[in-house]
Amino acid sequence: MTDLSRRDFLQSAAAAAALAGALNQSLAEEPTPTALKVSGPVVISSANGLRATEKAAEMIAAGADTLDAVIAGVNIVEEDPNDNSVGYGGLPNEDGIVELDSSVMHGPSCRAGAVGALRNIKTPSQVAKVVMERTDHIFLVGEGALRFARSHGFKECDLLTEESRKLWLDWKEHHSDKDNWIPSEVPDPNKRSDARRGFAFTYGTISCLGLNTAGDLSGVTTTSGLSYKLPGRVGDSPIIGAGLYVDNEVGAAGSTGRGEANIKICGTHMIVEAMRHGATPAEATLQAVQRAVHHTTEKRLLHLDGRPNFDLKFYALAKDGRFAGASIWSGGKFAVYADGKNRLEECAFLFQRAEVKP
């Protein structure tokens, strides 16, 4: 080694040692996890997850792993043909094909798994868990995710129910008068009103987070995503740090609503980090909602008064059992099981919806 390269080496070694020292110091300064307070399971979910919170809490109370419990909870909704936002019966992409997204995180083992644009499998949350457990990867999409699910014995079926097919056809026939699709002249009494047709895309999703008395946390988010999306579109639900984030030392967060607004801010990671530094779940979820609004600049996404023309919701569960939900617009609710009771609670919000006068 020349004198010059020896000097460079010694300098960079000294710099590396200083950096390691600084990192150790900053890790030591991170707030320690909050003392545990829960005496029973706490499970929180989006408002469509009342059956999920009940099921997951029952399983956690009986000693099940928190991830198995929240997945079993959302499976009820994924398999429900009458829920158009998740799994079987979910609204399809613009070609009429249902494509599902899901992610899972297991707090105690710091592991994650996810699938995106998965076709033909009712329970993408279960496939995401197998990705976590049986691959060296975290995220599989499309054809690869389907082949992986087949390899693990998942049964395929057409996810489009008669109802979701009719809703898609209704959208197809009404969203433009400059194409060759013409609505039936026979009025369909079950048809959605104009307000829900064509322009009203939906982002329905279920997110569910669970905590046991040992302080272990897990979470899952699962969805059929944006209705009538471009084939291949993947939303926030399967993206770790956007649709879901769990840190067993701090807490967990999940999201529903317009995924594109969330992916840009990595909202659930932001929430868990805010809680790590002392924010309450309510403060942390509202901060994420505020950030998403602040980062929405496109005119097509704003009302004339500059407020967003979509909604986005976050749910947070801290390691000490505190929980909250927040949304851009008033009127949002979330499901929660805590203190032995399963119920819906109000989300905090940024903007009050204008009252609709009869």
Active-site residue set:
205
Q: Which is nearer to ligand GLY, 34 or 207 (CB)?
A: 207
Q: How far is residue 316's CA from residue 271's CA, in Å, rounded to a whole number?
A: 7
Minimum distance, C-beta of residue 333 to ligand GLY, in the bound complex (Å): 17
Q: Which is nearer to ligand GLY, 41 or 254 (CB)?
A: 254
Q: List residues binding ligand GLY (CB under 6 A).
A: 203, 205, 223, 225-226, 235-237, 256-259
Minimum distance, C-beta of residue 236 to ligand GLY, in the bound complex (Å): 5
Closest C-alpha among 198, 256, 228 to residue 92: 228
The Cβ of residue 98 has, within 10 Å, a number of other Cβ atoms equal to 25
Minimum distance, C-beta of residue 219 to ligand GLY, in the bound complex (Å): 14
Q: Which is nearer to ligand GLY, 101 or 320 (CB)?
A: 101
User: Residue 61: which residues within 8 A CB-CB, separation 6 or more?
Assistant: 40, 41
Q: Which is nearer to ligand GLY, 311 or 320 (CB)?
A: 311
Rounded to 5°, the CA angle 131-132-133 comes to 95
Burial 137-157 (b: 16+ CB within 10 A, else e): ebbbbbeebbebbeeeebeee
Closest C-alpha among 46, 47, 48, 45 to residue 56: 45
| DSSP secondary structure of 43-73 | EEEEGGGHHHHHHHHHHHHTT--HHHHHHHH
> From the CA atom positions of the chain, what is the Rg in Å?
22
Minimum distance, C-beta of residue 70 to ligand GLY, in the bound complex (Å): 17
Q: How far is residue 280's CA from residue 289's CA, in Å, rounded to a whole number?
A: 14
Closest C-alpha among 94, 93, 102, 107 to residue 121: 102
| DSSP secondary structure of 185-196 | SS--TTPPPGGG
Q: Tell me which DSSP letter residue 302 carries.
A: B
Q: Which is nearer to ligand GLY, 66 or 102 (CB)?
A: 102
Minimum distance, C-beta of residue 225 to ligand GLY, in the bound complex (Å): 3
Q: Which is nearer to ligand GLY, 55 or 258 (CB)?
A: 258
Minimum distance, C-beta of residue 341 to ligand GLY, in the bound complex (Å): 28
